[in-house]
Amino acid sequence: MAAQTVADYLLQQLQAAGVDHVFGVPGDYVLGFYDKLAASPLRHIGTTREDTAAFAADGYARCRGIGAVAVTYGVGALNVVNAIAGAHAESSPVVVISGAPGVAEQRKDPLIHHRFGPFSFQREIFDRITCASAILDDPLTAFRDIDRCLQSARQCSKPVYLELPRDQLDVEGFPIPVPAAIHQDSDPGALTEAIDETLRRLHAAAMPVILAGVEIHRRGLQDSLSRLVLNACIPVAATLTGKSVVGERHAAYLGVYEGAMGSDFTRERVEGADVLLMLGATVNDVDTGIFTAQLDPARLIHASQDQVTIGHHRYADVYLRDFLAALRDSVSRHACAWPAGAALPELPTAVAGKPMTIARLITSLNRVLTPDMSVVCDVGDCLFAALDLRVHERTHFLASAYYTSMGFAVPAALGAQVAVPALRPLILVGDGAFQMTGTELSTFTRLGLDPVVIVFNNHGYSTERFILEGPFNDIAEWRFERIGELVGPVNGYRAATEDEFEQALGDALQTTGRPSLVNVQLQTADASPAMRRLARHLGRQVHGQP
Ligand SMILES: Cc1ncc(C[n+]2csc(CCOP(=O)(O)OP(=O)(O)O)c2C)c(N)n1
Ligand SMILES: [Mg+2]
C-alpha cells in the first residue's frame, strides 16, 4: 500500500464522494490547502465572502448530494457559522474545511492573528452544528477521520467539519478505506407490520392523499415516491420545505399544503383525506402554515426518517427508504381519478401603465418556467408567493424554507448552477435579502453564468411589517437594476408596471451567458396570495397590527 499525504487523501476522497468544486475565500492558514486544491482535478470557486461560499456549497450539496467549502481559521470559519447552522437545520451535507495554525505553532500557545480563544474553540462551535467533526492533527487517525466524516455527511445528510492545521498537509500515512455503509437497515419484523397496517388502512380508504416532505429529497427517494404515486394512484401534495419533491405539473399533484397559507383546493384535499400518508414530512411552523394545519392524528400514517407512526402505533427502526420501497412494490392500485381543478390561472393581457402586483408576478412566472430552469428562493414574501409556482421537474425548487436565513438565494443559486450548469436558476429575492448577499452576482458574471434574478422590491422588510410595523422595517432604496455597473456585466431592468415587467422578463429570458435582474417595483401594501390567505384565516389586515 502506498503512503499518501493528508491533503491529497482529503482531496481524493472529496472527489470520490462527488465533490468537483470547492467554494471559499483563501487565507494564510488555508493557503497551502488551496495550493493543493489548485493542482488537483477539483476546481476552486472564489466568492466575495465566506458565508456566501457556504450558501453556495449548500445549494451545490442539494443538487449533487454533497458540497464543500474551504476557509481560513477564525475570521473565515466563523463567517460560515450561520450558513452551516442552516445546512444543519435543513439537512444539507456540506463539508467545511478550515485551515488552522500548525500543530507545532499551537504548542507554545502563542498570540497569533485570527485567534479568538483556546485553539479548541472553533471545533467546539462546529461540533454543535455538524454531525461529525475532526481535527486532522495526527497521521495515525487523520485518514480514518476523513473517511468517518465524509461517510457521516452522506449518511446523516448533514454538514461535517474538518480542521486542517497548516503543517499537517504533507504528513504521510497509510489510508485503509473501508467501504462506507451509507444506509442503515430497518428492523424486518417492524417493517412488515408497518407495511401490513398501512396497506389495510389504504385499502379501506376512499380518499387517501400523500403529503410528501423534505426528507424525500434529502434521502434521494424521489423515484420511489413517483412510482408509489403512480402504482397506487393516490394524489400527492408537498410541504413547503419539501416543495418540488414531485414534479408540480403532473395531474397527480395537489399543490403545496401549508395549513391556512396554502390554497383552499390543496387544503381541502389534504385535510379531508380519510388516510393521509405523510412521507418524510416535517411538522414545523413553516410547513404547518404557522400551526394552522388541521390534521386528524387518527387518520395519519407518518413515515419519518427512522420510524413509522400509524394512529397510536409506533414502529421504531423502520427507515423511510425501506418503507417507501416496500409500499411502492406491494400497494394495489386505488380506484381514484386524478384531481381536477388544479389548472394554472390564465395570465390576463398586460395593461400598459398598470402597477405590477405579486399575484400577477407569480402567474407570469408560471407561464415562462421551463423544465430546464430551477427556482431558488429567498426568505420573505417571495417564499410565500412561491407556494403558487409550479416548477416542472423534481427538486427544481431550492430555499432555506425552514431555517429561513435571508441572503440564501443568490449564493445558493450559484452553487446550484455550478453543480448543474444545464439548469438555469430563476432567483426570487426580496429587496432586503438582496442587500445582504446580492453582490455575489459578481461570481456569476465572472463565470459567465446566467441566472434570472427577480427582486421583489416592496421597499423594506414586509414580512416583519406583517408582524409589527415600525421604522425599523424601512431600508435604503437601491437601484438594483444598475448592479452591473459594479459587478458587471448584468442586464438590469426596472419594472413598475405590467407591460414593463412583461418586456423585461422576455428580454431577460432571451439573454444567456450573463445574469439578468428585474427590479420589480411593488406597492408596500401588496402581499402574496399565501400571505393574504393567512391574514384572512387569522382575521387581520395584511400589514400592521391586528
Ligand atoms: C439573516 C436574517 N436576518 C433577519 C431575518 C428576519 N427577517 C425575516 S423576513 C425579513 C424581511 C425580509 O425582507 P425582504 O427580503 O425585503 O423580503 P420581504 O419580507 O419584504 O418580502 C427579516 C428581516 C432573517 N430571516 N434572516
Ligand atoms: Mg422587501
The mean pLDDT value for 293-320 works out to 95
Show the ligand 1 pocket: residues with CB < 6 angstroms. 379-382, 404-407, 430-433, 456, 458, 461-464
- Ligand 1 atom at shortest distance from the alpha carbon of 458: 20
pLDDT at 115 over 90: yes
Burial of residue 428, with CB atoms counted within 10 A of its CB: 0-12 exposed, 13-18 middle, 19 or more buried: buried
Res. 336 pLDDT band, cuts 50 70 90: low
Cα separation, 136 vs 138, whole angstroms:
6
The mean pLDDT value for 520-529 works out to 95
pLDDT at 180 over 50: yes
382 C-alpha to center of ligand 2: Å?
9
460 C-alpha to center of ligand 1: Å?
9
Res. 177 pLDDT band, cuts 50 70 90: confident
Res. 544 pLDDT band, cuts 50 70 90: very low
Least confident of 169-173, 288-292, 313-317, 519-523: 288-292
Ligand that comes closest to the CA of residue 385: 1
456 C-alpha to center of ligand 2: Å?
6
Least confident of 66-80, 107-121, 238-252, 329-343: 329-343
DSSP 289-321: TTTT----GGGEEEE-SSEEEETTEEEET--HH
If you count them, how many residues does the chain have?
A: 546
Backbone conformation region of residue 255, classed left if phi is above 0, alpha if psi is from -120 to 50, else beta: left
**How does strand 516-521 pair with strand 491-495?**
parallel
What is the predicted pLDDT for the residue at 394? 77
Across all residues in the chain, what is the average pLDDT? Answer: 94
272 C-alpha to center of ligand 1: Å?
34
What's the whole-model pTM score?
Answer: 0.96
pLDDT at 259 over 70: yes
Res. 546 pLDDT band, cuts 50 70 90: very low
Q: Whose CA is nearest to atom 23 of ligand 1?
A: 461
pLDDT at 59 over 60: yes
pLDDT digits (tens, 9 = 90+) for 25-38: 999 999 999 999 99
What is the predicted pLDDT for the residue at 395? 72
pLDDT digits (tens, 9 = 90+) for 475-490: 999 999 999 999 989 9
- Ligand 1 atom at shortest distance from the alpha carbon of 404: 25
Burial of residue 477, with CB atoms counted within 10 A of its CB: 0-12 exposed, 13-18 middle, 19 or more buried: exposed
Burial of residue 298, with CB atoms counted within 10 A of its CB: 0-12 exposed, 13-18 middle, 19 or more buried: exposed
- Ligand 1 atom at shortest distance from the alpha carbon of 381: 21
Res. 342 pLDDT band, cuts 50 70 90: low
Bridge-partner residues for 279, per DSSP? 212, 303
Cα separation, 45 vs 23, whole angstroms:
5
